[in-house]
Amino acid sequence: NIMQLSDDPVLQILPFNAKIRFPIPHPSDKGSIMYRHVEYYPGDPILSLVETFKNDPRPEKVNLSIGIYFDDEGKMPVLESVSRAETARAATPALSPYLPMEGLDTYRSAVQHLLFGKDNRALAQGRIVTVQTLGGSGALKVGADFLHRWFPEARAYVSDPTWDNHRGIFEGAGFEVGTYPYYDPATVGVKFDEMTAFFNTLPEHSVLILHPCCHNPTGVDMSEQQWDEVLQIIKTRKLIPFMDIAYQGFGGDLDSDAYAIRKAVEMELPLFVSNSFSKNLSLYGERVGGLSVVCPNKEEAELVFGQLKFTVRRIYSSPPAHGAYIAADVMNSTELYALWQNEVYVMRDRIRAMRQKLYDVLTAQIPNRDFTYFIKQRGMFSYTGLSVEQVRRLRDEFAVYLLDSGRMCVAGLNASNIAYVADAFAEVLK
């Protein structure tokens, strides 16, 4: 009962009793159906829009779509603190061995100090474990894989709306992902009562993906008082908070942006934190991030740490070294840290100034409308309140690119384009 599969010697080595579905054309055959069942991937909508922008010939064009910080000259900055660390490192050529699965020790402790504060009691108690990850995305992936493996019944919930990849990463890890009420277009604020009522219906161990500061995409954050209330519900209902912080320092300051994280630790919640240095160190391509898990005690922390390492091992084995060395060198030097902190605040203040300018122009041109939300929102993003039609008009008539949701990356504004963009906004809003 030997089947003659093909004249190709590679296909002939299949055991004769292998279960095979016919026909099996050789991949090199014309008209192969090898991959025809593979679903077409239309691409990421944000990255596709960036391509359209690049091909737009109009010289006045402005890109406010992608989540990257640009300086006042419209360039991605090289931070002085980073550049000094790079120069110092380049002076002594070094080998590049594998890092351990969990990443670089000096980097991991620097991440812990930044997120939780150097004097955090839980750190001293050895209850917090941190692994270095491939950016914030890698941290979300490692955390989601870990949670799905050890809490297989749990569902995950993301804010409505959220950064698209939250859903993608958690679904990719096997979770069923739901949404919780968050943004209220009527008030350009948080649907706080609806959200807390929803949290109060969730079963134990439901995973909540939360933005501790600078909510992406809306720019609408909760107040400290609101956080206190939410964290109390999380504690009472035994939910699992997963805080994703990608813009630390862009909202209030480096410490106050970590308010929700530190409060959750103080309340002894079983917290997950994913953090990213893509934006605040302007090190997008180096993929520097971290995943921290706060555990009830040192023994459980050791169990979790072991499984996090194992999770990493099974995805990419160990993280890249260079970015972690640079981030650690910046954060572990008193001088470079002070320089970096100041550079983060320069970025934050420039974004704030752009918000203010937009508010001033729009208020002057459309005085009967309240634009205070532009100055209240925090971080790089703003839900502008523009409709899809208005967004399309901005793109077609003015070459100003926003996402269809009306999300604008405020960091794409600068002294040269702000007046033009503000006038264009006013034009489509009138």
Nearer to ligand PLP, 216 or 414 (CB): 216
* Residue 19 annotated in active site: no
Q: Which stretch binds ligand PLP (CB under 6 A): 52-60, 106-114, 134-142, 181-189?
A: 134-142
> Shortest gap between Cβ of 211 and ligand PLP (angstroms)?
6
Query: Which three-class secondary structure state does DSSP give residue 104?
Result: coil
Q: Does 289 bind ligand PLP (CB under 6 A)?
A: yes
Q: Does 135 bind ligand PLP (CB under 6 A)?
A: yes
Q: Which of 81, 112, 130, 216 binds ligand PLP (CB under 6 A)?
A: 216
Token pair in block for residue 106 = 């000096």
- Cβ contact 210:244 at 8 Å: yes
The residues near 316 (Cβ < 8 Å, ≥ 6 apart) are 134, 138
Residues 247 and 217: their CA atoms lie apart, in Å, by 12
With CA atoms as reference, report the closest residue to 389 among 343, 423, 428.
428
* Residue 244 annotated in active site: yes
Q: Does 382 bind ligand PLP (CB under 6 A)?
A: no
Q: Which of 62, 63, 65, 67 binds ligand PLP (CB under 6 A)?
A: 67
Looking at 34-162, which runs of residues are DSSP E strands?
A: 62-63, 128-134, 156-160
Residues 261 and 291: their CA atoms lie apart, in Å, by 13
Token pair in block for residue 234 = 């999380």
- Choice among 141, 279, 329, 340 that is catalytic: 279
Q: Does 102 bind ligand PLP (CB under 6 A)?
A: no
Cis status of the peptide bond prior to 23, with omega within 30 of 0:
yes
- Choice among 221, 244, 257, 329 that is catalytic: 244
Q: Which of 278, 280, 384, 414 binds ligand PLP (CB under 6 A)?
A: 278
Query: What burial class does residue 145 get, using C-beta atoms within 10 Å of its C-beta: 0-12 exposed, 13-18 middle, 19+ buried?
Result: buried
Q: Does 286 bind ligand PLP (CB under 6 A)?
A: no
* Residue 163 annotated in active site: yes
Q: Does 244 bind ligand PLP (CB under 6 A)?
A: yes
Which residues contribute to the site for ligand PLP (CB under 6 A)? 67, 135-137, 163, 216, 244, 246, 276, 278, 289
Residue positions annotated with a catalytic role: 163, 244, 279
